[in-house]
Structure 1
């Protein structure tokens, strides 16, 4: 099935694709010739989606899914994942008042905040990434997928498994994959929390960060990161993030303390998350 997802320009597809490519989990995601593909899972349904830049102001999607009844849910998730409904002009007008952000926004006016296909998957990625590199976290995610993911018959080369369901992960010995036992307990606890509260990762639900912080092993950075990319809170801001602190150091010559960055970011409300994406992207270009 072919779908077209329109957006209000501008849209920096190369930045979005680069972000996804750097974090693609083997067996679940591929990026080939400008096309992002991934396996998808909904209750009782498995499939794949492939997304690429279309002609005009739209993304094109090739969907392989046996149940047409779930197509509206898939479209909604894809629109969030690729940040297609953001009012960039509104955020630009607000954030460009900061002389640090103004030239960065002008350089990449179509920059978006990458979302996530699934809340539990994104939360697992965030926890796996605590205190290790992106590459190491993606390697661990691949091991988890191969061990506990559901096998998938796919016509897209490289897509072999669907991310594991919460019921499987809640009882799995995840530390056996090669991580601290405390982190394994945090991951299993996340899966159990979702079983207890199926709306735990629901975008737009009030009090999302507080619910996440109440969970074992979930600190401020992880909660804010999940809020930004899954709950779609454009004010989500992990002020202690090493990348954000480093970006200020590169741009201004002085590395701020986390508290100083948090204070400065108050002027960016209610779009601190977009400011974070601008700063992260500037750092990747500097490197």
Structure 2
């Protein structure tokens, strides 16, 4: 989890220092920040600075979703370990969880920025976006490196985002997602099931199957979401099993992983990214 967050930390918004993850947050108009680090035994220690004490329970719940802390891994592992490859990967990383998101709009923006480019390039673009359109963090004692909160949809809806250095079509998609959130503030609220989650996302201009499944997995916490055409997944399976794999073959293989395909995907991504 920490390696995943470290690779995707946006300058000004997040930092990973040693084994501590910190980020700025905006919630109901207020600004704050939190840090999470390992504590004694298997516990995590949360440091939260937010001006409204009544909001802290909701903020903690969102942090738990971000870190996937409420997932019961035992039944997931029992099911996935029927596949010898996944049994090996799970044995190597038995505590691996699926990273969530602090905010659905932020995650959708990250996903669109990451379309057809590397993680590093997407994070650099996200840093430019935060610096130009995010509000300065209104917090006195924030950790070093936290300077802004993520841009609000209203700041992005009418902006020329392509000027940040991305294809004009991608800038149009980002502006469209921002306008869609303004039109429907519940756009990224949990849906009834995976089908409804995907249909809500695929209705947005420029959002395709990969982006929809990625957001469904991390924001809607749809454990069976599975972007079968993802290059990272295809490369991971090919590298781990020693031969080329098509998206059709991967999708067929993943049928046995239902209803936990998202956790299988996280193990494949992590194993392939590991040094």
| SS in structure 2 at match of 1:161 | coil
**Does residue 47 of structure 1 match 2:47?**
no
**Does residue 131 of structure 1 match 2:112?**
no
| SS in structure 1 at match of 2:84 | coil
CA RMSD across the alignment:
1.0
1:236 equivalent in structure 2: 225
The alpha-carbon deviation at position 168 of structure 1 amounts to 1.1
Superposed CA deviations along residues 158-195 of structure 1, whole A, max 9, x for unmatched, are 10000011111111111111111110010011011111
Partner Cα distance (1:143, 1:39) in 2: 16
TM-score relative to the length of structure 1:
0.92
**Does residue 200 of structure 1 match 2:165?**
no
1:93-242 equivalence runs, <5 A: 93-154=78-139, 155=141, 156-206=143-193, 207-242=196-231
1:3 equivalent in structure 2: none
Superposed CA deviations along residues 24-73 of structure 1, whole A, max 9, x for unmatched, are 00000001121100000112111000111111232111111001111111
Partner Cα distance (1:75, 1:169) in 2: 27
2:42 equivalent in structure 1: 57
Kept after mapping to 2: 8 A contact 1:38/1:49:
yes
1:15-94 equivalence runs, <5 A: 16-94=1-79
Kept after mapping to 2: 8 A contact 1:200/1:208:
no
Superposed CA deviations along residues 212-244 of structure 1, whole A, max 9, x for unmatched, are 011100000000000011111111100000110
Kept after mapping to 1: 8 A contact 2:14/2:24:
yes
Kept after mapping to 1: 8 A contact 2:130/2:151:
yes
Partner Cα distance (1:201, 1:153) in 2: 25
The alpha-carbon deviation at position 204 of structure 1 amounts to 4.5
2:242 to 253, 260, 263: 253
Partner Cα distance (2:19, 2:80) in 1: 30
Kept after mapping to 1: 8 A contact 2:11/2:145:
yes
TM-score relative to the length of structure 2:
0.96
Partner Cα distance (1:282, 1:255) in 2: 17
Kept after mapping to 2: 8 A contact 1:247/1:283:
yes
Partner Cα distance (1:255, 1:121) in 2: 34
Partner Cα distance (1:95, 1:30) in 2: 33
| SS in structure 1 at match of 2:21 | strand
Superposed CA deviations along residues 112-131 of structure 1, whole A, max 9, x for unmatched, are 00111010110000000001
Task: Structure 2: state its 5+ residue gaps.
Answer: none
Superposed CA deviations along residues 75-125 of structure 1, whole A, max 9, x for unmatched, are 110010000011100100100001111111111100000111010110000
Task: Structure 1: state its 5+ residue gaps.
Answer: 1-15
2:256 equivalent in structure 1: 267
